Structure 1
Amino acid sequence: MRRWTGVVALLGLALAGCQGVQELFPGREGGPPTVIDRSGGAASSGMVERKVAFPADTYARLAKHGSATIKGRLTYTTPQGRTLIGAGETVSIAPATPYSAEAAEVALAGKRIEPADPRARAYTHHATTDARGYFVAHDIPAGVFYVAGSVRLPGGHSRSPLILRQVEIGKGQTRQVDLSR
C-alpha cells in the first residue's frame, strides 16, 4: 500500500474526517498524481492526469442499482466559524474502487482530475440537497461507496473543499451520512 508523505495530502485527509488512508484508498499504488502538460490544455487549468486505468472488469461485476438508501446532510463551516448549508447542491455516490480512489485522492488535495470514463459515470448516483442541506438517494446497490459534495461559498464564485465520506451499505439498508466539514 502506498503511504502518504506530503503534508498537503495528510491535511486533506484530516480535514475530510477520514479514519485512515488504508480505509479511504484501498489498493492504491503508484506515485503521486502529475499535472497534465498538453500545450496549454489541461495543464493551464491545473488538471491532473489519471494514472489508474478504468478497470472495466471490476465495474462489470458491480450492480448499478439496488435496494439501499443513503441519506444525510451537507454543511461546511468556514474558517471564520460560519456554518453554510449546502442547499441545492449535488451529492455524488460512487463505488469505492482504485479508479474512484484516485479521483478522491486528487480532489482531497484540492486539485481537479481528468473527467471520469463514461463507463464509470454509469455507476455513480446523485442526489440534490433540499433548502436545509438534506439529501436522499434511493436504489443504491450494496457495497462500499464514496459519498461526496461541496458547498457554494458566499459570493457564488467558489466552492468549499471537497467533503467526502466512505460508507458501506448492505442490501435494503438505510445509511445516514454526515457530510460536514
Structure 2
Amino acid sequence: MKRYYPLALAALVLAGCEVVPPAPTERIDVIDRGETRRDVPQESPQESRQDEPEPPPRAAREVAFPEAEYARLEKQGSAAISGRLTLSGRAVPNAGISVAPITSYSAEAAEKALAGIAVEPADPRAREYTHTTRTDGNGHFQVSRLPSGDFYVSGAGSDPRSGKPRVVIHQVSLGKGQHREVELSR
C-alpha cells in the first residue's frame, strides 16, 4: 500500500493540487490469551481508539472551480515532458508524477501543497485535465500526449534521508509538439 502513496499524493496534488496528509501510524494491539489480571482496569476497543490522533483537518479551498477557465483548455495534444525525480540526491523509483494545467484553482492548491498544507479534495472536473505516470527504477519518467500550455509538473515520494513524504513541483511551458526535460529534485 505504501508504494502507491506517492502516486496518489502526486495525482491529488496536481489534479486539484491537494496533498494527502501522511497516513497515521499503524496501531498494533497485543492480546494475551492467558488469564486476565483483575487488578488492571480493562479498556474497551472503542475507548482505546479515542486516544488515537485525528488526521489534521484539510484547509478549505478559497478558489472555486473555474469552469470557464478549464473550458478553454485542451485535454490532450502532441507535447511531452520527461525527466527524473530525485530526493536528497537519490533517484526515487516507482514514484507518482503528475502534470496539470496552471489555473487559478491549481495555483492555490500547489502553493498550499508546497507549504505542507492539505486542502479539500479537488473538483472531479479538474482531474480530467491531469496526466499521470510513475518513475522507473532509476527515477526517470515520461508523460506524452500533452496539450500546449503552462503546467505544474509534480513528483512525490519518500525522502530517503527522513522517510517522510515529499512533493516537488515545477512550472513548465509547452508549445504544440514540443518535448521538455524536467529535473524534479529536492
Q: TM-score, normalised by structure 1?
A: 0.69
Residue 84 of structure 1 and its aligned partner are, at CA, apart by: 2.7
Partner of 1:35: none
Q: Deviations over 1:34-76 (max 9, x none)?
A: xxxxxxxxx9523111000000111111000000000100001
Q: Which amino acid aligns with 1:152?
A: S
Q: Is the 8 A contact 1:50 1:113 kept in 2?
A: yes
Q: Is the 8 A contact 1:85 1:133 kept in 2?
A: yes
Q: Deviations over 1:81-134 (max 9, x none)?
A: xx2321101111010001000010100111111111000000001121000000
Q: In structure 2, what is the Cα distance between the partners aligned to 1:97 and 1:46?
A: 24
Partner of 1:175: 180
User: Does residue 75 of the first structure (1) align with residue 77 of the second (2)?
Assistant: no
Partner of 2:159: 153
Match of residue 48, structure 1, among 49, 59, 84? 59
Match of residue 168, structure 2, among 160, 163, 166? 163
Q: Deviations over 1:126-153 (max 9, x none)?
A: 1210000000000000000000112223
Q: In structure 1, what is the Cα distance between the partners aligned to 2:164 and 2:68?
A: 37
User: Does residue 99 of the first structure (1) align with residue 105 of the second (2)?
Assistant: yes
Secondary structure at the counterpart of residue 59 of structure 1: helix
1:2-151 paired onto structure 2 within 5 Å: 44-77=55-88, 83-151=89-157
Q: Is the 8 A contact 1:146 1:167 kept in 2?
A: yes
Q: In structure 1, what is the Cα distance between the partners aligned to 2:127 and 2:68?
A: 15
Secondary structure at the counterpart of residue 110 of structure 1: coil
Q: In structure 1, what is the Cα distance between the partners aligned to 2:107 and 2:83?
A: 21
Q: In structure 2, what is the Cα distance between the partners aligned to 1:74 and 1:154?
A: 12
Q: In structure 2, what is the Cα distance between the partners aligned to 1:153 and 1:62?
A: 34
Q: TM-score, normalised by structure 2?
A: 0.68
Q: Is the 8 A contact 1:84 1:151 kept in 2?
A: no
Q: Which amino acid aligns with 2:150?
A: V
Q: Which amino acid aligns with 1:164?
A: I
Question: Which structure would you say has the larger RCO, counting Cα contacts within 8 Å and 6 or more residues apart?
Answer: 2
How many residue pairs end up in the alignment? Answer: 133
Secondary structure at the counterpart of residue 150 of structure 1: strand
